[in-house]
Amino acid sequence: MDSDRSKGRKLDVGFSGTTRHWEETFGRRYWKAGAMYRGSDPSPLTTIPFQSNILSKELEKSNQNKMIIDLPEVKIAEVLLEIVGIKNLPERHKGKLFVMFNKKHPDAFYNVKRRLTILSESGVKDVASFQCEPKGELFFELVSHSPSNLPLTKLCKTMGTTSFSLEDFLNPVSELSVERWIQLQPASGNMCSKPICLRIAVSFSVPIQAPYELHMIRSRGLSKTFCFFPLSGREQHANSYTSVVEKTGADIISLQMRNSTKAKEKERSIPKQQVTGVMKTGETCILADFVGTRWCLMDSQWYLELKMKSNEDGSLFELTGCRTVKLFQGKKLDFEPKCCEKKRSERDFMTAVEFSAENPYGKAVALLDLK
């Protein structure tokens, strides 16, 4: 099956024609944020639906657990943006026009300035696709690009600026697709009888909770498997901590593996292992104990176990409690590599997949980058 969508190929030409006819017929942009082609479906992990044996009472009890880490909820929305037209240009204007845009106050997902051509001027459809927090303002700057008498130099002049608030559309959600004329505030020295206006088309997806990106920073070198197996005394460092931080660098919690203060196990000469957490407040709590062949977490409400032999579904670890989460090597489901993505070894990653009555074939909930 032909899947080549590069410029000038059959699928690209066909899609461009469909887009043009749609917009000429209905007078509306064809594209919609969150509704465009995203590639082939990811490969399934299993063809057998998961059967949960977790009782509703256990699930209700788990929802009453104390929240150890309280992360702020951040929303994210997808945005598609196109500069469709321009009017009221000065009669004597010469030079090529383009629009620069950015967020007045950059956020964690969008913090750059980008350039767009104007469809009515260039004849080329130029649509920007990006993600950002559904708040703040998008700022637009109309720029004129003129040739210079000096070799290898060109002159750029700002003709006007404008902005609009994302919250007017997304807080609460009122319009997800908008196309309108917006008046520009003229730059100094560019006064004219009629204000220049840009026709801007923009489409939003409904804001959803953004995924968290957390980083682990180890104070001293430890084995990559230290989180899953008991370590001998020589391998441990009593003062070694692993700090968990947000993408911004803000501390969340510090983790330490240590010998339990309890008596040694009778069946083994290896002392019990514990993972403790130090909160930002300085409070210390026990997060996990290594008992037998598995880790017990959250007062034995969750269990993490290494599968000594690979399961039929290929999972390496299983986390069980009020839900079942399995860890697979590589990028799976929604994290599956895209065709244009820079290739890295699948051994560099693990995907956490939740199985439940709502998601019997698995739902990717986290990606671990082991490098």
Quick one: pLDDT at residue 240? 72
Helix extents (H) in the chain:
10-26, 56-62, 119-122, 167-170
Q: Which amino acid does the sequence have at 209?
A: Q
Instruction: Note whether 367 and 335 are within 8 A (CB).
Output: yes
CATH 2.60.40.150 residue spans of the chain: 75-209
| SS3 state at 302 | strand
Quick one: pLDDT at residue 200? 94
ω into residue 172 within 30 of 0, thus cis? Answer: yes
Q: How many CB atoms lie within 10 A of CB 68?
A: 12
Cα 112 from Cα 118, distance rounded (Å): 19
CATH 3.40.50.450 fits 75-209, yes or no: no
Cα 32 from Cα 11, distance rounded (Å): 19
Quick one: pLDDT at residue 339? 63
Q: What is the pLDDT of residues 303-322, one digit of tens each?
A: 999 877 666 778 999 998 88
Distance of CA 285 to the CA centre of its chain: 30
Q: How many CB atoms lie within 10 A of CB 290?
A: 22
**pLDDT truncated to tens, each residue of the chain (371 aa)?**
566 667 777 777 777 788 888 777 877 787 777 776 667 778 888 888 888 665 544 545 554 455 677 788 899 999 999 999 999 988 877 789 999 999 999 998 999 999 999 999 999 899 999 999 999 999 999 999 877 666 555 678 899 999 999 988 877 777 788 899 999 998 876 666 789 999 999 999 999 999 888 888 887 544 444 444 444 444 445 557 889 988 878 888 999 888 765 544 445 555 678 888 988 888 888 889 988 888 998 777 889 998 776 667 789 999 988 889 999 999 999 888 876 567 788 889 999 999 988 899 999 999 999 87
| SS3 state at 232 | coil
Quick one: pLDDT at residue 203? 92
Quick one: pLDDT at residue 81? 95
Strands annotated E in 148-293? 154-165, 177-183, 185-186, 197-204, 208-209, 214-218, 242-246, 251-259, 273-279, 284-291
Q: What is the pLDDT of residues 331-367, one digit of tens each?
A: 999 888 876 567 788 889 999 999 988 899 999 999 9
